[in-house]
């Protein structure tokens, strides 16, 4: 015997929280909805873990949820960008319950009490170990069988481990990953024991860049190691940015053959195809990446590029003391942070549902190949109307919006159209802040002041503007680049677009 629900959400992350809010707005009865999550806490805004959560006390922050949470707090001051400075004595680091969903989208904060008041059953700290989509049942690790009429898969992704790239040592006491609250809590503990010391950050993606900034703010000396020529850079899909090319980085097999992922990258450059995992290729052109790297340099961060970790040396307490790179470099260290990508949690459904581009394939209603099962967030490969193709995105905005759309489609299928999404990514580090909308394919047209002011890029593909990036914009400017990207205007003269820069978006 087990319990039965009308709706079950499998996974308790960002998408689960936004789905729960949408269910409550649309009106469900008490006892109809259940959320099952391996994490012991109710859904929270995961992005806070690499930002507000890692902050020491009393410094400027540009974190959205802290800004929101502190809007009404007395005694705070702001710099010219609107970042808040907290008076000493007022807690600075973000801690639950301040960043439970759905504060990130300026919605209600769904605390455990909110779920109780709304009659939503929470099965927390519980892993689902198998699912039978034909019988519409799930089996938890505690041995309970839970049945559903409608299942929403919101299992997100897991961090890739070094062992998957042939390097052992992830279990050392001072090697940290960052995916969930437990990881972040551990990272804070390790960081606090290393103040004034050295950290090596492995990976030049989002986690690497955001953690490096937080480590510096915590007064730790950082060296970043990654295989590519630049941070958040990797390879292009569909085109080489104007006047930049890929000089300066040796893509030959002998240089940095470190992982199947790099090979995927190489082949993507050659064949102009999307990478095998189906995610959008990384964003920064060399010039954009150089801006951020120079900024990080000015904060003391060192970059070692074009090589990868080979092994660790440990002391007798099980702590890494030296990071050894493939090129023979030895880096003495007090701690290591690893951010080398993720894999979507699809394994429970392999052989039961159709997969595509590394995720669970859904239609414009977020419905999988089984009509009783929906998939949302990082795990879903969904049709992006704007591009006319299926994509799997690994960002918070798409997690929130796919979740809400799935619930809308479940509750009012006849009144719900196909999901129409403009991809949106952002990051905030130190006092910098950028946003990106659309697609980074085609020719990149760069504009603005790369010496520390506002700058940006448009991507033009097949004569149309398809993507926009902006660093240091105002709310109105970000809205303008979002709007122009959604409109996909024809661009006849890229030189003129370059000359107009941000003015082009603002003029529409
Ligand atoms: P998740 O939020 O990962 O939630 C998945 C949930 O499912 C977890 O609770 C997990 O424990 C649970 N689960 C998985 N398998 C099982 C199982 N078998 N049984 C029970 N439970 C299970 N994106 C941005 O756009 N901007 C940012 O600034 C940003 N910052 C980020 C910072 C960090 C540190 C991280 C890790 C990610 C960040 N992201 C950011 C990405 C963003 O957080 C993700 O895209 C988003 O969390 C995906 O939501 P999700 O609900 O699909 O998955
Ligand atoms: P990313 O995919 O962004 O970056 C991984 C990085 O690690 C790449 O530079 C990659 O290079 C490199 N790498 C891969 N293998 C190795 C290796 N063996 N040694 C050294 N470097 C290696 O993943 P992250 O881990 O940074 O981020 C995880 C997830 O969190 C993503 O889904 C991301 O979207 C999300 N996130 C988003 C944020 C945001 O949107 N602001 C902030 C934080 C996290 P290569 O390309 O060659 O494989």
Map tokens 């440990």 to a residue: 314
What tokens appear for 136 in the block? 């519409």
* 3-state helix, strand and coil shares in percent for the chain, rounded to the nearest 5: 30, 25, 45
pLDDT in tens, 351-382: 999 999 999 999 999 999 999 999 999 999 99
Angle (nearest 5°) at CA 15 between 369 and 274? 60
Q: What atom in ligand 1 is closest to the CA of residue 393?
A: 45
Map tokens 């039961």 to a residue: 352
Q: Write down the pTM of the prediction.
A: 0.90
Q: 378 near 394, Cβ under 8 Å?
A: yes
238 in ligand 2 pocket by Cβ < 6 Å?
Answer: no
**Residue 86 pLDDT class (50, 70, 90 cuts):** low
Q: How far apart are CA 262 and CA 159, in angstroms?
A: 17
Q: 178 near 50, Cβ under 8 Å?
A: yes
Map tokens 């990953």 to a residue: 177
CATH C-level class of 162-340: alpha beta
pLDDT in tens, 130-163: 999 999 999 999 999 999 999 999 999 999 999 9
pLDDT in tens, 22-58: 999 999 999 999 999 999 999 999 999 999 999 986 5
E strand intervals along 345-419 = 355-356, 359-361, 373-375, 380-384, 389-391
> Which residues are CB-contacts of 226 (< 8 A; sequence separation ≥ 6)?
202, 203, 204, 205, 208, 303, 305, 308
Q: How far apart are CA 455 and CA 507, in angstroms?
A: 17
Q: Which mutation among 17, 37, 54, 66 tests ligand 1's pocket best, with the greatest number of atoms within 8 A of CB?
A: 37
Peptide bond connecting 506 to the previous residue in cis, omega within 30 degrees of 0: no
Nearest CA to ligand 2 atom 14: 340
Q: Which mutation among 8, 9, 10, 14 tests ligand 1's pocket best, with the greatest number of atoms within 8 A of CB?
A: 14
Nearest CA to ligand 1 atom 28: 47
pLDDT given for residue 234 in this prediction: 54
pLDDT given for residue 434 in this prediction: 97
Please state which CATH number belongs to domain 442-506. 3.30.390.30
The reply to whether domains 162-340 and 442-506 share a CATH topology is no
- Ligand 2: distance of its center to the CA of 176 in Å? 14
Provide the ipTM: 0.98
Number of CB atoms found within 10 A of residue 173's CB: 16
How far from chain centre, in Å, is Cα 388? 23
| Mean of pLDDT values over 53-78 | 56
* Axis-axis angle for helices 206-217, 181-192 (nearest 10): 40
pLDDT given for residue 343 in this prediction: 97
Counting ligands in written order, the one closest to the CA of 360 is: 1
Topology annotation, domain 3-158+344-415: FAD/NAD(P)-binding domain (3.50.50)
Q: How far apart are CA 455 and CA 221, in angstroms?
A: 28
| Mean of pLDDT values over 223-227 | 97
Q: Which mutation among 143, 155, 212, 437 tests ligand 1's pocket best, with the greatest number of atoms within 8 A of CB?
A: 155
SS3 102: coil
340 in ligand 2 pocket by Cβ < 6 Å?
Answer: yes
Q: Is the pLDDT assigned to residue 212 strictly greater than 80?
A: yes
pLDDT in tens, 151-203: 999 999 999 999 999 999 999 999 999 999 999 999 999 999 999 999 999 99
Q: 234 near 281, Cβ under 8 Å?
A: yes
Residues framing ligand 1 (Cβ under 6 A): 11-16, 36-39, 46-47, 49-50, 127-128, 154-157, 178-179, 345, 348, 377-379, 394-397, 399, 425-427
Kindly list the domain boundaries of the chain, sorted by start residue.
3-158+344-415, 162-340, 442-506
Give the per-residue SS3 of 206-239: HHHHHHHHHHHHCCCEEEEEECCCCCCCCCCCCC
Q: How far apart are CA 155 and CA 35, in angstroms?
A: 11
- Ligand 2: distance of its center to the CA of 341 in Å? 4
Instruction: Residue 214: name the closest of 53, 44, 395, 433 by CA.
Output: 53
What tokens appear for 78 in the block? 């702001």
227 in ligand 2 pocket by Cβ < 6 Å?
Answer: yes
Q: What is the largest CA-CA distance in the chain?
A: 69
Nearest CA to ligand 2 atom 24: 341
pLDDT given for residue 365 in this prediction: 98
How far from chain centre, in Å, is Cα 6? 31
- Ligand 2: distance of its center to the CA of 50 in Å? 13
Helix (H), strand (E) counts: the chain = 12, 29
Q: 135 near 146, Cβ under 8 Å?
A: no
Q: 64 near 52, Cβ under 8 Å?
A: no
Alpha-carbon separation of residue 145 from 35, 255, 319, 474 (angstroms)? 14, 51, 41, 50
pLDDT in tens, 298-335: 999 999 999 999 999 999 999 999 999 999 999 999 99
């Amino acid at each position: 015997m087990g319990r039965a629900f009308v709706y079950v959400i499998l996974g308790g992350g960002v998408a689960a929280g936004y789905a729960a809010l949408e269910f409550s707005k649309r009106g469900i009865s008490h006892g109809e909805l259940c959320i099952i999550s391996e994490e012991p806490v109710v859904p929270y805004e995961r992005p806070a873990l690499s930002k507000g959560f890692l902050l020491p006390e009393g410094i400027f922050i540009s974190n959205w949820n802290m800004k929101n949470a502190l809007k009404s707090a007395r005694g705070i001051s702001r710099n010219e960008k609107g970042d808040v400075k907290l008076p000493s004595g007022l807690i600075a680091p973000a801690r639950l319950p301040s960043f439970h969903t759905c504060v990130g989208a300026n919605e209600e904060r769904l605390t455990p009490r909110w779920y109780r008041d709304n009659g939503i059953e929470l099965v927390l700290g519980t892993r689902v170990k198998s699912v039978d989509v034909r019988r519409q049942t799930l089996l938890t690790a505690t041995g309970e069988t839970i049945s559903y009429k409608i299942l929403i898969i919101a299992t997100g992704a897991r961090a890739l481990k070094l062992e998957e790239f042939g390097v052992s040592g992830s279990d050392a006491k001072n090697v940290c990953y960052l995916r969930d609250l437990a990881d972040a809590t551990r990272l804070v503990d390790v960081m606090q024991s290393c103040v004034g010391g050295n950290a090596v950050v492995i990976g030049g993606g989002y986690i690497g860049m955001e953690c490096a900034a937080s480590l510096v703010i915590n007064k730790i000396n950082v060296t970043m190691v990654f295989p590519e020529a630049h941070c958040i850079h990797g390879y292009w899909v569909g085109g080489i940015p104007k006047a930049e090319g890929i000089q300066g980085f040796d893509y030959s097999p002998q240089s940095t053959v470190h992982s199947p992922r790099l090979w995927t990258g190489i082949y993507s450059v050659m064949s102009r195809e999307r990478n095998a995992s189906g995610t959008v290729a990384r964003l920064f052109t060399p010039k954009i990446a150089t801006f951020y790297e120079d900024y990080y340099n000015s904060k003391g961060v060192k970059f070692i590029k074009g090589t990868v970790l080979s092994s660790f040396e440990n002391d007798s307490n099980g702590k890494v003391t030296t990071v050894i790179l493939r090129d023979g470099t030895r880096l003495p260290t007090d701690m290591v942070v690893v951010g080398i990508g993720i894999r979507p949690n699809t394994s429970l459904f392999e052989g039961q549902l159709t997969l595509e581009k590394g995720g669970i394939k859904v239609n414009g209603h977020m419905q999988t190949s089984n009509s009783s099962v929906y998939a949302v967030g990082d795990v879903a490969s969904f049709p992006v109307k704007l591009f006319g193709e299926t994509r799997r995105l690994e960002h918070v905005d798409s997690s929130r919006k796919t979740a809400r759309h799935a619930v809308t489609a479940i509750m009012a299928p006849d009144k719900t159209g196909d999901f129409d999404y403009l991809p949106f990514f952002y990051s905030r580090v130190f006092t910098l802040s950028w946003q990106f909308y659309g697609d980074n394919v085609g020719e990149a047209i760069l504009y603005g002041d790369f010496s520390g002011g506002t700058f940006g890029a448009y991507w033009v593909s097949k004569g149309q503007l398809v993507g926009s990036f902006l660093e240091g914009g105002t709310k109105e400017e970000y809205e303008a680049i979002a709007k122009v990207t959604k409109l996909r205007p024809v661009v006849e003269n890229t030189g003129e677009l370059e000359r107009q820069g941000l003015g082009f978006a603002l003029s529409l």
